């Protein structure tokens, strides 16, 4: 939870990796924003059930974007509550047909049980959540279809992975040769133009030092944009740690297989080395992560362990 004061009827569940934070609006139509990762679905259900008023089911579910750590609990929540679900409009067709090529789950080597949706959201739309109006804002950069929610009355921004207290999410489009850095810069400019007094990010605690967060994010973006290989290297590290935390432990062989089969991993690795050098690349990244305390590697058994 957070020490910052939140409006009545708004709860933030600050989750650790692998799950994104969840934002719960109480009131006539209880609504959850983002649902966490699939393997944490039971915890998500328990958090929501504990916070809901007696006899009041979850009525609505909204996704800021469709990365697995933000929508992996959708199916479980829909099965439990039959909640009406909103997703970004640009993702409607791949979700409707569950098109693995256009969804990110296989590309990242992650999992997400199939879910459905009832409505879509586009930039410029408005939602009433917890008795307040929230403007839907586009937030491309980390994900081209990502959205944010902004309440002008209280100056609260639900930013997803567009802005954290100390950065933002991996700029995935750049791994596929598409534009992402410029879009991320534009989103930071947009946030600066808003009258924001508090940000509820997709990861980490809510914060009110908006200027400080924007300065940090811009510095980070400049660092990545000046050498796109840095973005690729960071992406691979994030994907390795995420996969390892999801599995708890895995062999080096399984890690190399993921690199050979998961598109986002391959795209990132291709920016750093030719395929013949990928085993050495993985070894160096694992060594860096182990030195940083992000994982533990047993050389004797070729096994990586989550820390």
Verify that 187 and 273 share a domain, yes or no: no
Does residue 2 surpass a pLDDT of 70?
Answer: no
Rounded CA separation 147/199 (Å): 14
Does residue 289 surpass a pLDDT of 70?
Answer: yes
Does residue 106 surpass a pLDDT of 90?
Answer: yes
Residue 2 lies in a domain: no
pLDDT tens profile 256-287: 999 999 999 999 999 999 999 999 999 999 99
10 Å CB burial of residue 238 (0-12, 13-18, 19+) is middle
Give the per-residue pLDDT at 17.
85
Verify that 135 and 204 share a domain, yes or no: yes
Residue 1 lies in a domain: no
Domain count, the chain: 2
Rounded CA separation 149/158 (Å): 5
Rounded CA separation 54/241 (Å): 38
Residue 54 lies in a domain: yes
Q: What is the mean pLDDT of residues 127-134?
A: 95
| Crossing angle of the two packed helices 252-261 and 228-247, in degrees rounded to 10 | 130
Does residue 128 surpass a pLDDT of 70?
Answer: yes
Of the three residues 191, 225, 259, the one that is the final residue of a domain is: 225
Verify that 109 and 207 share a domain, yes or no: yes
Residue 57 lies in a domain: yes
User: pLDDT-derived band of residue 1, with 50, 70 and 90 as boundaries?
Assistant: very low
Of the three residues 183, 202, 225, the one that is the final residue of a domain is: 225
Q: How many CB atoms lie within 10 A of CB 293?
A: 8
Verify that 233 and 221 share a domain, yes or no: no
DSSP per position, the chain: --SS---TTEEEE-PPTTSPPEEEE-SSS-EEE----GGGHHHHHHHHHHHSPTT----EEE-S---HHHHTTHHHHHHHH--EEEEEGGGHHHHHHT-TTTSSHHHHT--------SEEE-TT-EEEETTEEEEEEE-TTTSTT-EEEEETTTTEEEEETS-BTTB----GGGGGT---HHHHHHHHHHHHHS--SEEEESSS--B--HHHHHHHHHHHHHHHHT-HHHHHHHHHHHHHHHHHHHHSEEEHHHHHHHHHH-HHHHHHHHTTS-GGGHHHHHHHHHHHHHHTTSEEEETTTTEEEE-
- CATH number of the domain bearing residue 174: 3.60.15.10
Residue 120 lies in a domain: yes
Nearest Cα residue to 15 out of 23, 7, 5 = 23
- CATH number of the domain bearing residue 258: 1.10.10
Verify that 60 and 203 share a domain, yes or no: yes
Verify that 192 and 259 share a domain, yes or no: no
User: pLDDT-derived band of residue 3, with 50, 70 and 90 as boundaries?
Assistant: low
Verify that 259 and 219 share a domain, yes or no: no
Does residue 57 surpass a pLDDT of 70?
Answer: yes
Verify that 253 and 298 share a domain, yes or no: yes
Residue 214 lies in a domain: yes
Verify that 121 and 254 share a domain, yes or no: no
Residue 3 lies in a domain: no
Give the per-residue pLDDT at 43.
97
Verify that 158 and 197 share a domain, yes or no: yes
Q: What is the mean pLDDT of residues 221-229?
A: 97
Verify that 104 and 249 share a domain, yes or no: no
Does residue 120 surpass a pLDDT of 90?
Answer: yes
Of the three residues 210, 225, 240, the one that is the final residue of a domain is: 225
Which residues span the domain enclosing 292? 229-306
Residue 4 lies in a domain: no
Does residue 208 surpass a pLDDT of 80?
Answer: yes
Does residue 101 surpass a pLDDT of 80?
Answer: yes
Verify that 87 and 156 share a domain, yes or no: yes
């Amino acid at each position: 939870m957070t020490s910052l004061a939140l409006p009545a009827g708004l709860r933030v569940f600050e989750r650790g990796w692998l799950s994104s934070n969840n934002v719960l609006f109480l009131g006539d139509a209880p609504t959850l924003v983002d649902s966490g990762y699939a393997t944490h679905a039971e915890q998500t259900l328990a958090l929501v059930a504990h916070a809901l008023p007696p006899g009041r089911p979850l009525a609505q579910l909204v996704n800021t974007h469709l990365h697995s750590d933000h929508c992996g609990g959708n199916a479980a929540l829909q099965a439990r509550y039959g909640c009406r679900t909103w997703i970004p409009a640009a993702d409607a067709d791949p979700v409707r047909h569950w098109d693995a090529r256009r969804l990110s789950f296989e590309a990242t080597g992650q999992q997400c049980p199939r879910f459905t949706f009832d409505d879509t959201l586009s930039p410029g739309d408005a939602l009433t959540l917890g008795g307040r109006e929230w403007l839907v804002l586009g937030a491309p950069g980390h994900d081209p279809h990502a959205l944010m929610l902004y309440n002008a009355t209280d100056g609260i921004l639900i930013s997803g992975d567009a802005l954290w207290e100390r950065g933002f999410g991996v700029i995935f489009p750049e791994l596929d040769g598409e534009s992402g850095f410029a879009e991320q810069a534009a989103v930071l400019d947009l946030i600066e133009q808003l009258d924001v007094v508090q940000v509820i990010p997709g990861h980490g605690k809510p914060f009110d030092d908006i200027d400080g967060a924007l300065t940090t994010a811009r510095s980070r973006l400049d660092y990545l944009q000046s050498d796109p290989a840095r973005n690729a290297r960071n992406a691979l590290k994030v994907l390795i740690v995420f996969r390892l935390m999801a599995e708890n432990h895995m062999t080096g062989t399984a890690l190399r297989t993921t690199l050979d089969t998961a598109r986002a991993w391959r795209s990132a690795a291709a920016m750093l080395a030719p395929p013949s050098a990928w085993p050495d690349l993985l070894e160096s990244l694992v060594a860096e992560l182990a030195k940083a305390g992000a994982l533990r590697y047993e050389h004797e058994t070729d096994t990586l362990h989550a820390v």
